[in-house]
Amino acid sequence: MLIARSPQESHLYIDLHGCVCGTTQFDREHRLENWDGVLVSVYEGRCPQCGRTRSFKFTISDDRPPAPPAFGGPEPSRIIDPGEFLWISDQVSTQSGLRLLNTPLAEHHEIRPATAYAIAALEEVAKFLPEGADQISEDRFTSERGQEMHAKDPTRFTRQEITAALELKRRVLADIDEINSPRDREDSGGSA
């Protein structure tokens, strides 16, 4: 059974594993079940494209789930590989970056959640780096998407590249926070 560290990780796993028809999204209902003393989180719903029932079951990690947008504690995921986390970080960063370029400064705060989510996904990539290692081992890429990401550019999975990408994304988030701080709004004549 799949072991999820948080509801955020469960939802991302579901989003990464589409229906056989190719549709990724579906309205999912959630319930908790007790299976011989083990708490199981069940997500079910119908695919809007083909009508198939989709069902995902996760045991819940013993660790306390982190606050969103984080996906888990200090240990790397057991159900999502580093390439998948980098892919989702890239997707969200591209979308939020385009929105930042095309949105007035006063509205940048609306893009903050997506930016924080992209950072959380990239922080998950870093968790796959063994202590003292310069890069993530190729055997950690277990999904097709993850293997494709690694094959496309293995340098993106080095400590140096991951650190640089995190610093850049964190600066973007800090800029959003600075632009939308109460002091800046007061200085520009807005209300706090």
High-pLDDT (> 90) share of the chain, %: 89
What count of Cα atoms within 13 Å lies in the side-chain half-sphere of residue 6?
19
CB contact set of 4 (below 8 Å; sequence gap of 6+): 10, 13, 41, 58, 59, 60, 61, 79
Average pLDDT, whole number, for the chain?
93
The number of folded domains in the chain is 2
The reply to whether 192 falls in a domain is no
The reply to whether 97 falls in a domain is yes
User: According to the model, what pLDDT value does residue 192 have?
Assistant: 37
The whole-model pTM stands at: 0.91
The reply to whether 109 falls in a domain is yes
User: According to the model, what pLDDT value does residue 182 have?
Assistant: 65
The reply to whether 65 falls in a domain is no
What's the CA gap between 183 and 74, in Å, rounded? Answer: 35
What's the CA gap between 149 and 157, in Å, rounded? Answer: 9
Are 121 and 53 found together in one domain?
no
> Residue 53 maps to which CATH number?
2.20.25
Q: Could you tell me the residue range of the domain that residue 181 belongs to?
A: 82-186
The reply to whether 23 falls in a domain is yes
Cβ pair 72, 124 in contact under 8 A? yes
The stretches in the chain having pLDDT less than 70 are: 182-192
Are 44 and 87 found together in one domain?
no
Annotate 116-127 with DSSP letters as a single string.
HHHHHHHHHHHT
Q: Cα Rg for the chain, rounded, in angstroms? A: 19
Are 99 and 144 found together in one domain?
yes
